[in-house]
Structure 1
Amino acid sequence: MGDTDSGSSAAQSALPQTHSGDEADERPEEKAGFFGRILEALSPNETDASSFLNGASSAYEPTRGLINLRRMRVDDVAIPTAEIVSVPVNISKDDLVKVFRESGMTRIPAYEGTLDTPLGFIHLKDFALNYGFNGSTAEFDLGAMLRPLLFVPPSMPIGVLLTKMQTERRHMALVIDEYGGVDGLVTIEDLIEQVVGEIEDEHDIDEDKTWIKEKPGQYVALAKTPLEEFEAEIGRSLTEHDEVDEEEIDTLGGLVFMLSGRVPTRGEVVAHPDGPEFEVIDADPRRIKRLRVRLPEAAG
């Protein structure tokens, strides 16, 4: 951060000094939040960004992603409504456990009736502390554990939302359209990834291994998993069927795309004609990212 401080000092010395000696020196860093300081210190100004985009300068090569904080909007990064993992406020405790387990999420929006009437979100930590670790026998009440949601318009720049999330200490926001309906969901991780690239967590698979075995007959695999390698792992062919053209596909994601005829949404289950099922764990509108594969012999 030393280079940032030097650049900041140089910029301040170049500004005209309009205050008198008796005036208190205002320090922006004392007034802005953490992400606000990042935006002020590291984001290139319009001239710098234009020069970089025109190839006139390579000075901002290391901070290329920061331009996204200004030029990208919330609707550029939000998860579509159809892919939002959410629960009704009257869900049972056992069903909520199942949603947390299968989705891998730690924060899930809750609604009344439909998602267009969101009430808040449930945090896995609150659920575990109230009904898990201490073995409470109290009647399950999801509404009492709900935390408030942040609502944002789709046109908001992601840099503004990032600062807002940091200021209000929120990690999740629902995107609301002009009619008040839910148009998507965005997390603070989604925003940061536009600057620093993809962030892997404990649910992600190591790069040198594109699948993991959850239990006998069930795997979690990246969509880029080579089809031949996975077939060797499970000891069966996934391409010896009339509906599958093995000449056209090389990966598990390609196989699922061919079977469904489109990019399936998160949570969708695509069945193979020979029995295996592919559950889409993670995807965006353009591509499949992660799958859960269930082999028929494990169905029982």
Structure 2
Amino acid sequence: MPDPHPARAGEREDKRSLFQKLVEFIKPGPDSTDELIETLAEAEDKALIDAESRVMLEGVLRLSDQTAGDAMVAAPRMDLLDIDAPYDELLHQVIGTAHSRFPVYQGERENIIGILLAKDLLKLQRAPELNLRTLLRPPVFIPESKGLNHLLREFRATRNHLAIVVDEFGRTAGLITIEDVLEQIVGEIEDEFDIEADDGDIFALPDHTWRVAGDTPLERVNESFGVQLGADPDGDLDVEFDTIGGLIAHEMGHVPSRGERHRMGGLDFQVLHTRGGAVRWFKVSPFPPGGD
């Protein structure tokens, strides 16, 4: 008996899942990760998946080949808190770096004794008699060689968001967060400061420092801080720079990484965030003439 609703068969065909379409497309199947990635590019060309989905799928595939050492923040650029520092100093650092979690050390930076959530520091303001040690969470230590796919699974299972990475000798090599791992899949994850603005942005912070976008025009930076950055009275510069990020990268000779600093014009520029081979945000603070 003929189907009284022949159109429904076509509708069912159109409702195949993305996974089913990909499986059918890649049969008999690639022999390596690189071939599978090439296949995904072909799938995008054939409009089976969009560009964003392809990038995420590639990130998932490459995750198994990456280790904690590939995605970590290196030890010299880690923001740590000293367990013996005064409360005001700790609060100043928490506000200035704007992280939500901090490794805490005692004595030497290598001696990490716990993890402090920034929100827990507020408890000391309301109850100064509390001991900071009671607020610390146990640190999680992982080897540099740990695969990111396994680390992500552990982060999800244990609900930890940060781990301390150690080298083969047990020394601190860096730290890695769940955000660092996810960024290998979805790309840079922007925070509340990552807003788009044609003219860049300068934000005053409570600790009398500023967040300055890397694409802020030099003219605006000079006007805001009363400096003359980029001025070249001798005409020695080969090119002119429109943004503060471009000028600092030129002065340093490379695109700076998160945590690197550069001083010029009486200002200290610390890199807070990078994206796409450029600095997205600086933390800017004045420093005294002749200071280190």
Superposition TM-score, scaled by structure 1 size? 0.71
Given that 2:139 and 2:164 are in contact with CA atoms closer than 8 Å, whether structure 1 keeps it comes out as: yes
Deviation at 1:185, TM superposition (A): 0.7
> Equivalent residues in 2 for 1:28-107 (5 A)?
47=31, 49-55=33-39, 57-58=42-43, 62=53, 63-107=57-101
- Partner of 2:11 in structure 1? none
Q: Is the 8 A contact 1:74 1:154 kept in 2?
A: yes
Take 1:296 and 1:164, find their aligned partners in 2: how far apart are those partners?
Answer: 42
Gaps of 5+ in 1: 12-44
Q: How far apart, in 1, do the equivalents of 2:35 and 2:261 lie?
A: 47
1:239 shift after superposition? 1.4
Q: Does 1:3 align with 2:17?
A: yes
Do 2:116 and 2:135's aligned partners in 1 also have CA atoms closer than 8 Å?
yes
Between 244-253 and 143-152, report the one with greater CA deviation: 244-253
- Alignment partner of 2:231 out of 231, 240, 245: 240
Contact 2:78 2:259 survives alignment (8 Å)? no
What one-letter code is carried by the residue in structure 1 that aligns with 2:33?
Answer: A
Matched, 1:131 2:124: yes
Q: Secondary structure at the match of 1:72?
A: coil
TM-score by length of 2: 0.73
C-alpha separation between the residues in 1 aligned to 2:238 and 2:133? Answer: 50
Task: Give aligned-pair identity as a percent.
Answer: 28
Where does residue 20 of structure 1 map in the other structure? none
Secondary structure of the corresponding residue to residue 204 of structure 1: coil
Aligned residue runs from structure 1 range 1-300, under 5 A: 3=17, 47=31, 49-55=33-39, 57-58=42-43, 62=53, 63-128=57-122, 130-132=123-125, 135-138=126-129, 140-208=130-198, 210-214=200-204, 219-228=210-219, 230-231=221-222, 237-241=228-232, 245=237, 247=239, 249-261=241-253, 266-267=258-259, 269-272=261-264, 274-282=265-273, 288-294=279-285
- Structure 2 alignment gaps of length 5 or more: 1-15
Paired AA for residue 270 in structure 2: E
Relative to structure 1, is the Cα distance of residues 141 and 206 closer, same or farther in structure 2, using a 3 angstrom cutoff? farther
TM-align CA RMSD = 3.5
- Assess, with a 3 A threshold, how the Cα gap between structure 1 residues 233 and 83 changes in structure 2: closer, same or farther: same
CA contact (8 A) 1:222 1:289 kept: yes
